[in-house]
Amino acid sequence: MLRRPWLRFQSHKCNALSMAATLRFSVFVALVLILSIIAATYNSQDTLFPPSSKFMNFLSSNQAALTGIGGCGVDEAIDCGDPEVFQLLMSAAFERLKDVDFYRFGKPVEGDNCSCCHMAWRFRHREGGFDEDNRNFRVLRFGNGTLGVVGIGDFHSGGNVKKRMVERVEIGEIVNGDRLMEEPFSRGKYLVYAGGDGDRCHGMGYYSWKFMCALGEAEFLNRTLVVDMNVCLSKIYTSSGTDEDKDFRFYYDFEMLKVLSSVVDQAEFWPDWNEWSKRDGLKVRVVEGSKVTPGKLAERNESLIVRRFGEADDFWWRVCEGESGGVIQQPWHKLMPSRQLWSVAAAITSRMAWDYDGVRVERREKAKKKELWPNLDNDTSPEGVMAALRGRGVEDGRRVYVATDEGNASFFDVLKERYEVQFLDDHRDLWDGGSDWYYDMRKMNNGSALEFDGYMRERVDDGVFKMGKTRIETFNDLTKDCKYGVNRC
């Protein structure tokens, strides 16, 4: 299905302009190279775009300010909807506009020509309150396929964002993705995963894995995945100590997922299915669990395929096992954290002026199980963490963000003798009552207050840690113990 037809028009437009722009492009590249040489020999704290060691993104922790998005020619249009381009623009905004207290970014849209993207954001005033800005970003594609932001326009220079405001989605609003498709509902092909209660309330890492398997199969079959927005949050994350039903959108950016892949909320899907299946005689094929491989379903023409997981030991992820493992690609880069969680992480990093080092310290129950992790307790002691920081060249006085599951923050007091140490709970005001996160989540949760639960803490902690300039992990850096126990590295 054609999800974004305007890109085809944009591509034709670029082809018409590409030959006329060749000379200007060559001169521009030469100037960029000259300026790069000057910048490399000039010691200044205010270079245009200082080298970045990462993108501001939870899912990628070791990317550069110029990123390879392979297979592209220099005369091709910049796909402003590409998630890596989105990350590149955010990274450039953080690096260049250091005085801006960013709160939330909007999705980039095509700019005035083939090499420009327009992006909007909300930001905090120093005297309080919020305002919005939008900018034009000039993106250059180099001959080796890498992209770089080479210019940012003035205040409110990204006018195309306003032209597309009709497409903006309010928090908690349900968007019917099917209505945006060119083809009618009855010509679509859909995939549903039903049941699977045997693996429903495990950790969220487990949930992400099985969801990626379902999405991977849907993409392999060229079908739209029907997503159940009801997620069981394991009791390991809740203050009540019981499993709780939550909304998928509390944790993941479903709107971005709809841009990057073909998915639909099942609450929207079933009413349409009931209407169109009767009208057009649409057919359904039900298969039992993981017994039928994706390859055998590839040629099926039924409008709807339902994988029904009824047996207690038949799990979603088994669809991606065995011979299917080499066929199904799990598109992890498309499962991005929710905008609300991203905003909290971005606010914390902004408070630290984007200039800090990070260390992740996993202890909790693992440190007590010596038979599985014999060295972890000693290696993650304050003295062990201090030695690792000094061994990586982290100088005295640096800001150090400690992402940890250790409940007692005073455990790390010895680090404060040399470093400016910060923890997630130092920023509780970002999710306490009265915060923007609190307001947004109440709106998404039908007016009811929502707990900033353990999984949300993990995601924000992880996001802030990954945006540090130096990153020291528990496993491989602090300790040589295997992450999953003895002989399970």
CATH fold of 177-334: Rossmann fold (3.40.50)
Taking 50 as the threshold, does the pLDDT of residue 339 lie above it?
Answer: yes
The C-alpha atoms of residue 44 and residue 403 are separated, in whole angstroms, by: 31
Residue pLDDT, tens place only, 395-444: 999 999 999 999 888 999 999 999 999 999 999 999 999 899 999 999 99
Q: Which residues are 132's β-sheet partners?
A: 122
Taking 80 as the threshold, does the pLDDT of residue 28 lie above it?
Answer: no
Lowest mean pLDDT among 46-50, 186-190, 299-303: 46-50
Residue pLDDT, tens place only, 453-488: 999 999 999 999 999 999 999 999 999 999 888 888
Residue pLDDT, tens place only, 54-88: 333 333 333 333 343 333 444 578 899 887 888 78
CB under 8 Å, gap of 24 or more: what pairs does 450-453 form? 450/250, 451/238, 451/239, 453/233, 453/237, 453/238, 453/239, 453/246
The helix (run of H) or strand (run of E) holding residue 399 is: strand 399-404
Phi/psi of residue 488, each to 5°?
-130, 50
The C-alpha atoms of residue 139 and residue 147 are separated, in whole angstroms, by: 7
Domain ranges of the chain: 6-167, 177-334, 339-472
Structure tokens at 231: 């997620």
The helix (run of H) or strand (run of E) holding residue 299 is: none
Contact predicate 454/424, CB 8 Å: no
pTM, two decimal places:
0.68
Confidence (pLDDT) at 320: 86
Name the band, by pLDDT with cuts 50, 70 and 90, for residue 171: very low
